[in-house]
Amino acid sequence: MAAGLIAPHGGALTNRIVSDAEAADLRGEAAGLPQVTLSAKQACDLEMIAIGAFSPLVGFAGAADFESVCKQMRLVDGTVWPIPITLAVDEDTRSRLSEGGRASLVHSDGTLLAVIDVEEIYPHDKKLEVPNVFRTEDEAHPGVKAVAQEGEWLVGGPISVLTVTPEREPGEQFTEHRRPPAATRAEFERHGWKTIAAFQTRNPIHRAHEYLTKCAQEICDGLLIHPLVGETQPGDIPADVRMECYQTIIENYYVPERTLLSVMPAAMRYAGPREAILHALVRKNYGCSHFIVGRDHAGVGDYYGTYDAQEIFEGFDPAEIGIVPLKFEHAAYSKRAQGMVSAKTFPRIEGDQIFLSGTKVRELLAQGERPPQEFSRPEVADVLIRWATSS
């Protein structure tokens, strides 16, 4: 661990990726093991465990941790952990597994990813998980719907990972920017940064986002722009388009020596407040000391209050979380101030601030029109227009 950087959650980074020699042995063994084909979310979770992003986890949750996390947002040992990381299987798959045995974990394209030591097989208590994690049981909520569609059994145990990269997965792997926590920590050390603010995003960076990140840059040595490129919602802008947007805005509007772009291969849960805690702990593992928590972080629809994701941090001792949440108000462009403002920095005047809905922005892009410069930098808008008018 780099001197001066924040300690990983639980004290040390985990690493579940085996050596080449072990991988060769596991491939031979896997041919005779029962097989579990992972969903997109499960494959993302496997990668996050494998590279240490979900430290201190070493595998998928057992029954005691599942219950404790759902009820108390803690692992059995007391470590803060807000969302259970589970391996759900259907009845047919469950019938081929046995406690005390092992199973191969494969990507949907057939790539062997890992072997799991099956320590437990237990009922998937969705009635416990859903209302606690999501604060709703409405299956219109994408996170609730995803859990509802999962198998009725959960498999718990540590994993030994051969690879996190499928052989034939379509789309970009973003290899250049796919840094595990050990690599981001090394980059921070190389730059001489000791305090780093992380910005979570699954959208292109617009002017309000830029304002938040630059406020954070004023108080930290560096900024990690850390977009989520795992499974998101249908209708979200594709990851490759977003990556071009991030690179474009960094080149034109950020100081490269103070800014690092790296991707996080996690799946969205849309769990609002609990997911804000998870995102903070993950960035702590990546080496960040501060984490930007904006309006409706990790939310969807109207399921959570505007600042619920900020308020949830108040329920924990700051030392337990470790990373400092940077809590920002909603920001917008003020015509009178001629710049970005928030409720904390400028009086609200009728008709002064420019707000655009996501729907309105998409309509403008589809027509080949740029959103106002007060909302989006023109270079970013050009990238989005090319995507919107070609799809």
For 154-180, write each residue's pLDDT tens digit.
999 999 999 998 765 544 567 788 899
Nearest one of 267, 277, 284, 282 to 309, comparing CA atoms: 277
| pLDDT for 170 | 45
CA-CA distances (angstroms) from residue 84 to 60, 94, 112?
8, 19, 24
How many angstroms separate the CA atoms of 102 and 139, rounded? 33
How many angstroms separate the CA atoms of 171 and 192, rounded? 34
| pLDDT for 25 | 96
Cβ distance 244 to 204 under 8 Å? no
| pLDDT for 203 | 86
Question: Which residues in the chain come in under a pLDDT of 50?
Answer: 1-2, 170-171
| pLDDT for 315 | 96
For 204-213, write each residue's pLDDT tens digit.
999 999 999 9
Does the global pTM surpass 0.85? yes
E strand residue ranges, 162-195: none
| pLDDT for 1 | 42
Cβ distance 267 to 41 under 8 Å? yes
List, as one string, the DSSP characters of 79-119.
-B--S----EE-HHHHHT--TTSEEEEE-TTS-EEEEEE--
Supply the DSSP symbol for 135.
Answer: S
Residue listed under structure tokens 């990507």: 107
| pLDDT for 144 | 98
Q: Which residues are catalytic?
A: 202-203
CA-CA distances (angstroms) from residue 296 to 125, 220, 308?
27, 23, 7
Give the helix/strand (H/E) hosting 367.
Answer: none
Task: Give the number of C-alpha atoms closer than 13 A to the C-alpha of residue 52, restricted to the C-beta side.
Answer: 23
Instruction: Give residues with Cβ within 8 angstroms of 325, minimum separation 6.
Output: 276, 280, 290, 291, 293, 310, 313
